[in-house]
Structure 1
Amino acid sequence: MPETDVLIAGAGPTGLVLALSLARQGIRLRIVDKAPGPGTASRAMVVQARTLELYRQFGIAEEVVQAGIPVEAAHLREAGREVMRIPLREMGTGLSPYPFALSLPQDDHERLLEALLRDQGVAVEWGTELLDFREEAGGIRATLRRDGTEATCAAAFLAGCDGAHSRVRETLGLGFPGGTYAQLFYVTDARVEGPFREDLFVNLQARGLALMLPVRSRGVNRLIGIVPEALSGRHDLRFEDIRPEVEALLGVRVAELNWFSTYHVHHRVAERFRAGRAFIAGDAGHIHSPAGGQGMNTGIGDAVNLAWKLAAVLRGRAAPAILDSYEPERIAFARTLVATTDRAFRGMVGGGLGGQVMRSWLVPHLLPLLAGFTAGRHLFFRTLSQTRVAYHDSPLGEGRAGDVAAGDRQPWVADCDNHAPLDGRGWRLQVHGAVSPALAGAAGRLGLPVDAYAWSRDAEAAGLAEDAAYLLRPDGHVGLADPAQDPARLEAYARRHGLAFAED
């Protein structure tokens, strides 16, 4: 028998969320990281609404929101002047319990997740490096090194959440095609003069991308942007060298500097996310531009997707083949996201005609036009918040009812809060309308919880079909959508995937 069920390499947000999700379901695990301890500075800042919805399933969303700062509006600037204010809360109201983006520094985020993981009885093994591993019959045998001493660990599965330079990905020989942007980025935490600004500010000037967002409740802002091309080759670059341009672009005066660093941005997606009993997630599988604040959230989405499937297989609640759905679901989204953020990034900073059109016409003219329509506001929010992520080509998807297809995130219905029963651990059957006795009987035989809600205008507006049956996966995505409430179809779906719903 393996000494642990899952060995996780990497204790960033992706690895910590994977560990937390598995621990909540009683899965034995070890999580190791070669760093001596938690990070003290970070570049990732934004927690999107979909991530908060997933955290709500864990029972930790409110704690995370309290630790951060809700960003309810974005200000777009061109050449140092504001051209548009986007009210994020207005765009997301009615679509999610969290109609905003949350600003929470990655190091604070990681400390919070690590504390929650300790509450589950699991401690991160800092200063422990994964050196090598191989797959054997029934599991993975890994070599770990701590304090100069090597030891082996036998696990049923291995998850590489170990970043862009992933040892797991490299050991598996998975290609990581893509490239590196020529621009040099800067990042700094600073206190600016005047009242503390809790909104997001984005300057779109050609080759002068600059962003400012709130960092912590004590009144510090994060400034991110591109180093002026004339200074990008300097190895001794200081903030004072770029201060005049940064302050002009963002319309601020920096009063106090906490720290400053420079870095390059890559855009890559691994050729595969799985090889046998080993998986990769987060930056080990995909990295991209900071456009839209999507990177960390995508890694957390990977972790949640993988966690419920590993737990189901390890607990004997699903056929092992369910693990085959992880790669196609998450790699398809990663590829689309990298392509989209790449186009957006190049448009924001490009000096050609396309970039000029985006900054001078599309942003100041088309966005306000779209924002004037409900459909346009909803599209903007869903795209940015990742509530639009769907797995339409998943081997786990079947059917459609109303506007909701298998693979979609189950829409949130505000008047009944139909996301409240989701706990990230078990499947649920949801009906807005009347539940037929035949369907109730089948659910009872399967041990499947049923959430029944009165039909409402909110449910109709969300795209649901009256009296339709929606079988929800543990992550809140639709597995089966059946407008006819056919009990035989539900039971056949459960048999096909080897699903066992009843709790022990």
Structure 2
Amino acid sequence: MALGLARRGVPVRIIDKKEGATEESRAMGVHARTLEFYRQFGFAEAVVERGMPAEEIRFRAGDLDGVGFSLRAMGAGLSPYPFMLTFPQDEHERFLLDRLTELGVDVQWGASLEDFVDRGDDVEAVINSGVSSERSVHAYVVGCDGAHSRVREVLALGFPGGSSDQMFYVADAFVTGAANDVLYLGLTGDGVALMMPVRSKGSYRIFGLVPPKLLAQQSIAWADVREHAESLLGFTVGQINWFSTYHVHHRVAEHFRVGRVFIAGDAGHIHSPAGGQGMNTGIGDAVNLSWKIAEVMRGRADSGLLDTYEQERLPFARFLVATTDQAFKVLVNDGRVAQAARVHMVPRIVSTMMKFALSRRLFFKTFSQTRISYRDCTFNQGKAGAVRGGDRLPWISTAEGDNFASLQSLSWQLHTYGQPASGVVEQADQLKLPVYRFPWGEAAEHAGLQRGASYLVRPDGYVALALGPADSADQLTRFVERRHLDVSQPE
């Protein structure tokens, strides 16, 4: 959030009640859509260099020991980052903090939000530094303050949902004999465990379901679950660097915005860890909101643009929580049918499906979040080829380069593929809208773009308006004017 604002020249203040950056690895997976956002900020390659691409998922279930499927280049042709990256949250957070420091933004650690009042034209906040309280005035407040969000509490927003009765554990450990680029998933009738590479050779993150017989204990340590975990995964676990237990919750806030105050990330939605979607979804919230606040703050859009944050992100959060919760239940439920499905059906069905290109593409699009679309938000309009307003701009790459390079400008732009319709480029010139023209070819056709079409691309890389070759060119100007947008290149 702060990077998205600071990169656009918007002053920002960050407070965090913690005394410093996260020290546990916690969230691990960095998906393709997040890396695409990071490329816009100019540091995706640095993240990839620091992380570890996962090459394979391997099952250990019943008689299917060793069966799995490859993750290598699963998204080839769909994204410049056709893989899943593991990058521990503590290193990830420090990396982003360094990028903020480069922009002259520092985090005020040990400071907490006590209260705030939305006064219509601004927000007055009461901030406790740990020594004293102060009142400060801001244009907007964004609560990225987690599942126990103080911002959400002050707004009196409901957080409906539920919690799992089961208990789970997580550990960072050194493991002997495991491949350093493989995700191992152990499944039995009485348990499930996932192991994934973390930082260096031999270092892994282990997630698992605490055996029911241990739930009556007042506290649970690694020693209590070790034998069960090693049996599930088939490896000997050595030194443990971190261990914790937790319950899985699934909740979505009633709203993501009230006046000048917003919530994002875990403050707005929490769900099962299935698919590693949580952190990536929070980053998606921040990207979506930060460019909109920046456009309003710089006088390039009216405040109505901010309404689209909830319109676009809340439906996705609800969908995500529902789907990840169902997928998680298949893996961890303790009923006889669920146990049989977990051991005998899931590995076979998934491994078989992943042999087909269509299934692999769908799997990648879903888990990488490149499939996320805002078609249902009325802000976005039009259709050209398979692409509609609200869709992520499809990625194409040719010998001359790719169509995502220009997105690093973090600004509005018009993309044309092949010879554009008469008058479109002239309309763009009148709006001082940057135009990027791409030759028509097999890559564009395969991506679902339309020959002769023009696409108005938002600062976050989503299509705002799709114009087919037969559409009137003045639709571009009408779209911009009706939404009170300034789509010129910022100075």
TM-score, normalised relative to structure 1: 0.94
| Counterpart selection for 1:406 from 376, 379, 389 | 389
SS at match of 1:309: helix
Alignment of 1:31-180 (within 5 A): 31-79=14-62, 81-82=64-65, 84-180=67-163
RMSD: 1.6
1:446 aligns with 2:394: no
Deviation at 1:80, TM superposition (A): 8.4
1:185 aligns with 2:171: no
Task: Tell me if structure 2 keeps the 8 A contact 1:409–1:476.
Answer: yes
Match of 1:297 in 2: 280
1:486 aligns with 2:472: yes
Deviation at 1:451, TM superposition (A): 1.2
C-alpha separation between the residues in 2 aligned to 1:80 and 1:104?
32
Q: Deviations over 1:409-453 (max 9, x none)?
A: 111112241111112621111111113451111111111111111
Letter in 2 for 1:432: Y
1:496 aligns with 2:482: yes
Alignment of 1:20-31 (within 5 A): 20-31=3-14
Alignment of 1:94-493 (within 5 A): 94-194=77-177, 196-217=179-200, 219-352=202-335, 354-356=337-339, 358-360=341-343, 362-415=345-398, 416-423=401-408, 425-436=410-421, 438-484=423-469, 486-493=472-479
Letter in 1 for 2:448: G
Q: Which runs of 5+ in 1 are unaligned?
A: 1-17
Identity %: 50
Deviation at 1:366, TM superposition (A): 2.8
Letter in 1 for 2:276: G
Q: Deviations over 1:200-243 (max 9, x none)?
A: 11223344121111110253101111111111232332211111
- How many residues get paired? 487
Deviation at 1:147, TM superposition (A): 2.6
Task: Tell me if structure 2 keeps the 8 A contact 1:83–1:364.
Answer: no
Letter in 1 for 2:159: F
| Greater alpha carbon shift after TM alignment, 273-282 vs 349-358 | 349-358
Task: Tell me if structure 1 keeps the 8 A contact 2:187–2:343.
Answer: no
| Greater alpha carbon shift after TM alignment, 70-79 vs 167-176 | 70-79
Classify 1:451/1:358 alpha carbon distance in 2 versus 1 (closer, same or farther; 3 Å). Answer: farther
| Greater alpha carbon shift after TM alignment, 45-54 vs 214-223 | 214-223
**4+ runs deviating over 6 angstroms:** none
C-alpha separation between the residues in 1 aligned to 2:67 and 2:413?
42
SS at match of 1:113: helix
C-alpha separation between the residues in 2 aligned to 1:465 and 1:129?
51
Deviation at 1:310, TM superposition (A): 0.3
SS at match of 1:29: coil
Q: Which runs of 5+ in 2 are unaligned?
A: none
TM-score, normalised relative to structure 2: 0.96
Q: Deviations over 1:326-357 (max 9, x none)?
A: 00110100000000000000001123355246
Task: Tell me if structure 2 keeps the 8 A contact 1:207–1:350.
Answer: no
Classify 1:336/1:354 alpha carbon distance in 2 versus 1 (closer, same or farther; 3 Å). Answer: farther
Classify 1:365/1:147 alpha carbon distance in 2 versus 1 (closer, same or farther; 3 Å). Answer: closer
C-alpha separation between the residues in 1 aligned to 2:386 and 2:343?
36
| Greater alpha carbon shift after TM alignment, 243-252 vs 418-427 | 418-427
